[in-house]
Every structure is written in C-alpha cells, then in structure tokens.
Structure 1
Amino acid sequence: MCVVWGIPYLLIKIAVREIGPAELVFIRTALGAVLLLPIALARKELRASLKPWLPLLVYTVVEIGLPWLLLSDAERHVDSSFTGLVIAGVPLVAAVLARLSDHTERLTATRVGGLLAGFAGVTLLLGFHVGTGGIVPILELVGVVVCYAAGPLIIERWLTDVPRYGVAAASLVVGAVLFAPVAVPSLPSLARTVSTAPALAALGLAVICTALAFVLFFALVAEVGGVRATVITFVNPAVAVVLGFLILDEEVTALTGLAFVLILLGSFLATRATRRRPDPAEAADPAPAPATTAPGHGGGSS
C-alpha cells in the first residue's frame, strides 16, 4: 500500500498537464469500477454493499469524490513531492478525529507530543510553500488530509461488515456517476488532444492506484483498524519525493527533510498503541480465552 499509494502524486502531476481535474476523477473511477465490478459480482458481494447506502454515499464523497478532485486541482499548481509530504499528515488528523468520535481513545502524553511534533512539521512545510503555489492549493490539500483521515473511520464505524470488493466497486460506480455530467461531454475532444504520457498516467491511476489499491486497503483496515491503517502514509511521501526528484526534477531541500522527519515522528507517536491495564477481577478469576478467527472483510472468502 505504501508503494501503490506513493506513486499517484507523480501520475496526477503528469495527467493534469492535459486532463482536467473532474475528467481525471471520472476516468479513474469509471475504469476502476469496470475492473472491480466483475470481481464483486462473481463473489456476490455487490448487493450486500448497497444495503448501507447512506454510509456508502458519504464514504464515496469523503474518500473519493472530494479529495481526488481537490488533489488533482492542487497539483496543477504545486509539486507532487510537496503534495505527498502534506498528505503524510493524515495519521495526525485521524488520531484527533478518533479521539473526538470515540472517548475511549486516550490522548496520552506520548500521543499529544506526537501530534504537536507532526503538526509542527506540517506547519513548517505549508508556511514555506504558501508563497510558491498560492493559498488555494494549500487549502485544497488540507481538505484532502481531512477527508483521507475521515474515510477509514467511516469504514470502521459503518462498513466493517460489508464485503470489501462490493464496497470498493459500488463506491467507484457512485463516484463515476457523480462526475459523469461534468466529464463525459468533454471526453471526445479530450481523446483527440491528450498525448501519450498523460493518458498512460490516467490509466495507471485507474488500474494500479485505484482498483488494486482499494482491494488492498480494505484488507488492511480489516486487519489493523481504520486509524492505524492510515500509517501507510509514513512511506507514501518518501516515494512521492523520490519520484518527483528523479522524474520531474522537483526541488528537495533540507527544510523538506526536516518537515518530513517531524511529520513521520509525530504520526508514529500519535497513532502508537497504548497498553491496556489488566483488570484486577480478571486477573483473580481468569475466564477461558474465546476462540479467535482470522480477520475477515465483511463475509467474503479470503
């Protein structure tokens, strides 16, 4: 997941040179749906995923529609490596949202220190780049961070027991339908004018960073939970920075490295698991351990 979701920033940067943000999101969701729908139908998971239609719609908007549109538009003005570093702040926001939505999530001194360090890194990064791309792309990236942090929590709260292939396919179909009225009319002219590199970048976004990525991501959430699943962003920015530097000749400075270290350290500390203190009653009269089962993904066979 770290690698698969580390390359979208490069591909988006290349694609938006000739493809508009709305059109790119439509291509990504439509092709991704075409690839995942046969799997969901073959596993008979699509119908079950449509029952919680309201959480599915909210998830689609929060995790796909809005962040992908904002991300594509922001990358028309800022570097892909910078974008990847800002998105590294997702675990920090996820930790805050988890505490606000679940009061059993304790904010220990370690977690608070991690949040402070991480947000200091994000602030340093945004403050240094605000003059290069303008305030609008910065606000768009902040919106992406909040959306990406909320998406896994929606899965964990309302969609955990729904088959992951069905949810992924259905959400992509819904996303494609939402963007179709804006994107479809311009596709014929786009097909005549787009060059090879942006076209291949859009294809890579749909196949690798969407269809394959969602299958892996739902499995990861089922395994480790929504908040800690966002820890994949620890490596995502490093992949984005390396690719941006090697392929697009984007600038990498010492400040970039310092901000990344602060964000990385803060995200690790803020999402670190806390040990549960044993209950004295349980220790005195231990009950038989319940039978355990392998983590599932909503009823689908592994």
Structure 2
Amino acid sequence: MRTSDYVRLLALAAIWGASFLFMRIAAPAFGSVNTTFLRVFFALIGLAVMLLLLRTPMQFHGKLKSAMVLGIINSGIPFLMYAIAALWLPAGYSAILNATTPLMGALIGFSFFNEQLTLRKWGGVMLGLIGIALITTTGELSLTGSFITGVLACLIATACYGCAGFLTRRWISERGGLDAKLVAFGSQLGAALFLLPFFGYTMVAGPVVNWAQPEVWASVLAVGFICTALAYLLYFRLIADIGPLRSLTVTFLIPPFGILWGYLVLGETLTGGFVMGGAIVCLAVWLVVSPARVVKPVSPQTER
C-alpha cells in the first residue's frame, strides 16, 4: 500500500467515526428510520450536485443496476439493521459488532470468492477485535430476545459490508471499472429507493416528529453529505486501489475516532483502555493490510 492509501484509510475512518456523533444527535429527535432515509437521501443529492459540478458523464456502461444493488447491500440494509439494533443495544455493543466486518469479509471471501488468507491476516482480524473490546465500554445486558435480535441485526449488517466489497470488485472493477463517483451515486440511488417505503410507513404510522430543530438538521446534513456521500467516494476508490479486504479494515479504526469525536464535541469520557486498545487496533490493521514478505529461493548458481 502507498502512503496515500494509508492517509485515505485514516480519513475515511475519521469521517465515518464522526457519523456516530451526528447520528447520536439526530436519531433520538427524528427517529432511527427517518434519520437513516434522510442520510441516504442527502447523500444522493450531494453526489448528484458533485457530478454536475464536475461535469461527469452519466455513463454507467451497463453497470447502473449493479451499482444500485450494491447500494442496497452496502448501505440500505446495513443502515436499517443498525437502526433496528439501536433500539435495544448500547452504542458500544454496535461498535464492537461493527468491527467484525473484516472478519465477515475474510470468511465470505474465503468461502465464496477464492480469497487467500494467511495466518498473519487471521491473527490481525482477531487482534483487532480484542482492541475494539478494550476501547469500548459497554454495560451488562441480560440475554433477552431483544438483545439477541439487536446482535443478529448488527451481524447481518457486517455480513452485508463484507459481501459488498467483493461484489464491487466482481461487478464493477473486474468488468472494466467505473468512476468511483458514479458507483457511489448509483449505490445511494439504490439505497434510497430501498428505504423509501420504510420512510413512508413511519411518516404515516410512526410517532409525531418535531421537524423544527435546526441543530438536528445540521447533523442530518453532515451525516448525509460528509459521512455518506464523501465517505463512499473514498471507500469505492480504496476498493479499486487496494482491494475489498484491506478496505474493510477501516472498521477497526472507526470506533477510536467515534470515541474521540464524542470526547471533543460532547465531552464524553474516554475509557481506561482507549490508549492501549487504540495501539492494538493500529497493530491489527498493519497485520491485515501489509503485504507478506516473499522469500526468494536461492538459485543453484549462488549456492555454496
């Protein structure tokens, strides 16, 4: 990986980490499903404006349908699953379970996409989970049906993330590629259309929402334009440059940034294991994304 790839990986983690801050402000006020749809909707608008300003030709070369399906798998379903999990799980539990994305990606890639994994990468994935557990503080919850439902919802979301990375490579990259801006736009279009019926149902049958809250709207706009539109541009570009498995390691870095933003903006207290956990996470990311050293065999002419 190049230095620019590491920089983009950190930037993506910082942006997605900030989404926890914005969702923490918006979801209680507007509702989880409403906030999720608005996030995708504003991301779609932001990407459309970006395409117009950059005068990007809307030429999908037969890949629009694939991009839209990717949006359902990589945005629509995961966002909805995390909204459901938020009804019963503390944010810490969701953050820990979100970190299983590279593990899910490794299992899915090994099982269905002929991805070769070394013991070093498996060790990095497991070490990353240990680091996330140290960073995140969670309370004790009884093993109820609601708790199990929340956990399963998070695992469905991470499985979708893991699968989407490989599908992006198969449907987009290996078929000649596509501008990352167009992939992001198509994916958010698919996610918005998928979430629209859920949004419509909550508007008709859900609780009354006080929409006149400027600070909440600011959070919704930020999570839509920055944490989704801009973030997915970086994400799909990373998949094209460094591959799906390495790109998925960004989930190891999201919780540290999420906790940091909460500390800086909301005055939340850092956990005792933050420094140690953060160091372990960095080591885990390095183990997973760094290439294995290839030992060249000694030629017969150089043997003594």
Q: 2:157 aligns with which of 137, 140, 144?
A: 144
The answer as to 2:56 corresponding to 1:40 is no
Q: 1:250 to 1:78 in 2, by over 3 A?
A: farther
Counterpart position of 2:199: 183
In the TM superposition, residue 139 of structure 1 has moved relative to its aligned partner by 2.5
Stretches of structure 1 lacking an aligned partner (at least 5 in a row): 285-302
Tell me which amino acid in the other structure corresponds to 1:31: F
Stretches of structure 2 lacking an aligned partner (at least 5 in a row): 1-11
1:1-302 → structure 2 map (5 Å cutoff): 1-40=12-51, 42-44=55-57, 46-48=58-60, 51-80=62-91, 82-103=93-114, 105-107=116-118, 109-119=119-129, 129=139, 131=141, 134-160=147-173, 161-184=177-200, 192-248=210-266, 250=268, 252-254=270-272, 265-276=283-294
Q: 1:177 to 1:128 in 2, by over 3 A?
A: closer
Tell me which amino acid in the other structure corresponds to 1:146: A
Q: 1:163 to 1:220 in 2, by over 3 A?
A: same
* TM-score normalised per structure 2: 0.76
Deviation digits for residues 191-241 of structure 1 (CA, Å, limit 9, x no counterpart): 754523322211111111111112222222222122111232333211111
> Is contact 1:13–1:76 with CA below 8 Å preserved after alignment?
no
Deviation digits for residues 71-90 of structure 1 (CA, Å, limit 9, x no counterpart): 23333444445533432332
Aligned to 1:16, the other structure's residue is in SS state helix
Q: Aligned-pair RMSD on alpha carbons?
A: 3.5
Deviation digits for residues 128-160 of structure 1 (CA, Å, limit 9, x no counterpart): 656178333332222222222222222112112
Aligned residues: 280
Q: 1:76 to 1:261 in 2, by over 3 A?
A: farther
> Is contact 1:95–1:270 with CA below 8 Å preserved after alignment?
no
Percent identity of equivalent pairs = 21
In the TM superposition, residue 62 of structure 1 has moved relative to its aligned partner by 1.3
In the TM superposition, residue 254 of structure 1 has moved relative to its aligned partner by 3.8
In the TM superposition, residue 115 of structure 1 has moved relative to its aligned partner by 3.7
In the TM superposition, residue 67 of structure 1 has moved relative to its aligned partner by 0.6
Tell me which amino acid in the other structure corresponds to 2:99: A
Tell me which amino acid in the other structure corresponds to 1:48: F
In the TM superposition, residue 64 of structure 1 has moved relative to its aligned partner by 0.5
| Whole-angstrom CA distance in 1 between matches of 2:135 and 2:155 | 12
Aligned to 1:131, the other structure's residue is in SS state coil
In the TM superposition, residue 11 of structure 1 has moved relative to its aligned partner by 1.1
Tell me which amino acid in the other structure corresponds to 1:162: L
Tell me which amino acid in the other structure corresponds to 1:152: G
In the TM superposition, residue 34 of structure 1 has moved relative to its aligned partner by 1.4
